[in-house]
Structure 1
Amino acid sequence: MNIVFVFDGLQVGGIERVGIDYIKLLIDRGHKVSVVNVTPALKDLYHQLPKTCEIHEISLTRSMVPYRYAKGIEKGIKGAIAYAGISTALTILNALKRTIIEPKLKSLANTDVVIAFSGHFNDLMFVASGYLPGKKIAWLHGSEFEYKVISDGYFALYRKIKNLVCLSELCDITCKKFNDENGIRKELIYNPILIKDKEIDEEKVANLKSKYGRFALMAGRLAPDKDQKTAILAIKHLNEQTDRTIHLLLAGDGVNRKELEEFTKNQNASEYIHFLGNCLDMQNYYSAAYAYVHSSPMEGLPTVLLEAMAYGVPIAATDSIPGVREILGNNVFGLISPVGDQRTLGDNIGKIYDDSLLREMLKERGYERIKDFAPNKAVNKLEHLINEI
């Protein structure tokens, strides 16, 4: 089967790493898999793609997608008129752009399945517009309801694609009427977690433990939607309650790095908050970490929590909807605090350090929970969906 994954860039991120894992699994199953990158400037993870995976770069920015501006309708008649004008203009521009793009895709003429894997406006638009033949799938990195809250523009694209994969079904009953009326099929498929297959550098693990002691870890883009400030303040609160110093390692990079470094300095926390930049060997950091901290206000299905579980790292997380409770349950597989509540998050991190019985219980429960995200389960469900479409 010829399968094409469409990405809105292949920068260092959870969505992109999951996509690459699926690509490797499907190639191992005998499928031919290609990639279309609609944001060619972002290509940091190209080297992690299998050598047999062809890469096609097609520039299609989110700003060129008419549906991205659908939220303007909520502003009343003026917003509706503005949206109509923008939509008409962009539809014409996209028709012209199509004459440039299509000749570049001739080698993908035998595509059986095309997947908008990033789930952003531009990769969804690419798939919905029929640039490639075959069955169409939209990947939702969270629940369907979650995207409804963001913009009805997503649903205009789902109506064209018809087949959805979601990572959670929180509140999705509110979308049932839309799905029924538009003949939309939806499948819940958890992300496969392959990080345990990666080789561990025992010397680096030992060095990390020696340098930072029993440190806490948080991985992700340094961006406003990840809210690392709450994690920083939680560690500061925890350290101020006792005479110990717990270090927090922030793995990742992004637009907020300078602001976060300045914030850390102003909080007099630079001694124990460390900015690592992008790390392509996260298995070593999970192996060395004593606790995992998560402080995002909203997440679909945060892969980092699953990866931490796979390495037996107990988790203290804010209640990012819908993903955190989808993974951790109601404080069953990790400790959950309200979004933005640095004190409770800090107290929960402290429990992981101070209560050895709780720590071991969370580790063992995590090992059991991660079995639900076994690679074979995920790829079997995806293949079943493809065959049933």
Structure 2
Amino acid sequence: AEDTAGPFARQVPGIRRLAVIPNPLPAPLLDAPLVQQRHEAGPRELIAMGRLVPDKQFNLLIDIFAQLAPEFPDWNLRIWGEGPEREALQQQVARLRLQSRVSLPGRTEAPWEELARGQAFVLSSLVEGFPNVLLEAMSLGLPCVAFDCPSGPREMTRDGQDALLVPAGDRVAMTDALHRLMGDVSLREQLGARGAAAVRQRYALSSVLTEWDELFEAVREGR
């Protein structure tokens, strides 16, 4: 992500030029079916995915979901991933009596399939580098909410055009954004379609390879 360039340059004194080229989307995601929003009554899943570590702030996400759960009885929260925070998070879920609404199923060998079973995706991280999971969720047509953390979400969502971008660490704003998304199927459809179209074009392998070709040509001409 562009936001990583400055810190990296400071770690490598004397670097003359630094170019930023993003990770490409895996090819199968470029033409994968888009998530279809359900209009009828029935269970819906809010998906989160990542290592169960403090920087992902899943404890904050669970607290926020606990606030929203009574108003949205058809929504459940599923957090995919494994890590040292599992026991603490499970205790938190039990303390809030949300065992039937919040699940932590662990790791999955089929993350795209699990993302595609959701109706929305949330990135609650304190910090990221290049959050591939956000990119993959958007490419599948999942409407997304993300903290504007360093780095990646602002760039990936085009300053919040293609997802709901929330000031980093702002619990109230995250609660409001999730409330909007969970309660508005039209908004979910619009964000999902717009996000998928944008990232499938910007992060396609062909687009990323073109950036590499242009960089190599610029370096060659610079010689």
Q: TM-score range, shorter-chain basis?
A: 0.7 to 0.9
Aligned residue number for residue 186 of structure 2: 357
Deviations 1:163-191 (A, max 9, x none): xxxxxxxxxxxxxxxxxxx2422112121
**Secondary structure in 2 matching 1:184:** coil
Question: Taking structure 1 as reference, are residues 144 and 330 closer, same or farther at Cα in structure 2, changes over 3 Å only?
Answer: closer
Q: Match of 1:374?
A: 204
1:1-389 matches, within 5 Å, as: 142-147=3-8, 155=11, 158-159=12-13, 182-194=14-26, 196-197=28-29, 213-240=43-70, 242=71, 244-370=73-199, 371-382=201-212, 384-385=214-215, 388=219
2:52 alignment partner AA: L
* Equivalent position amino acid for 1:307 in 2: E
The one-letter amino acid of 2:60's match is T
Which residue number corresponds to residue 65 of structure 1?
A: none
Deviation at 1:338, TM superposition (A): 2.8
TM-score normalised by the chain length of structure 1: 0.49
Q: Is the 8 A contact 2:2 2:20 kept in 1?
A: no
User: Structure 1 336/141 Cα, relative in aligned 2: closer, same or farther at 3 Å?
Assistant: closer
Residues 153-172 of structure 1: CA deviation (Å, up to 9, x unaligned): xx1xx34xxxxxxxxxxxxx
Q: Show structure 2 runs of 5+ residues with no match.
A: 36-41
Q: Are the counterparts in 1 of residues 29 and 139 from structure 2 also a CA contact under 8 Å? A: no
Deviation (angstroms), 1:195:
6.0
Q: How many residue pairs get matched?
A: 210
Listed as ranges, the gaps of 5+ residues in structure 1 are: 1-139, 160-181, 206-211
CA distance in 2, matches of 1:257, 1:142: 30
1:276, distance to aligned residue in structure 2 (A): 1.6
- RCO higher in 1 or 2 (8 Å CA, sep ≥ 6)? 2
Alpha-carbon distance, 1:289 to partner? 0.7
* Separation of aligned partners in 2, 1:195 and 1:245: 33
Structure 1 residue 268 displacement after superposition: 2.2
Task: Tell me the distance in 1 between the aligned counterparts of 2:31 and 2:53.
Answer: 29
Contact 1:142-1:301 within 8 A present in 2 as well: no
- Structure 1 residues 363, 274: closer, same or farther in 2, change over 3 A? same
Asked if structure 2 preserves the Cα contact closer than 8 Å seen for 1:308 and 1:315, the reply is yes
Task: State whether residues 237 and 342 of structure 1, in contact with CA within 8 Å, keep that contact through their aligned partners in structure 2.
Answer: no
**Does the aligned pair in 1 maintain the 2:5–2:20 contact within 8 Å?**
no
* Separation (CA, whole Å) in 1 of partners of 2:3 and 2:18: 12
- Aligned position for 2:39: none
Structure 2 partner of 1:97: none
Separation in structure 2 between the aligned mates of residue 367 and residue 198 of structure 1, nearest angstrom: 9
The TM-score, its normalising length taken from structure 2, stands at: 0.82
Distance 1:386 1:330, change over 3 A: closer
CA contact (8 A) 1:318 1:337 kept: yes
Offset of 1:346 from its aligned partner? Answer: 2.7
Q: Which has the larger radius of gyration?
A: 1
* Structure 1 CA distance for aligned equivalents of residues 7 and 107 of structure 2: 28
TM-aligned CA distance change 1:296 to 1:272, over 3 Å: same
Q: Is the 8 A contact 1:252 1:278 kept in 2?
A: yes
Three-state SS of the structure 1 residue aligned to 2:69 is helix
Between the aligned residues of both structures, percent identity stands at 26
Which has the larger share of helix? 1
One-letter amino acid of the structure 2 residue matched with residue 224 of structure 1: P
1:276/1:386 CA distance change after superposition, 3 Å: farther
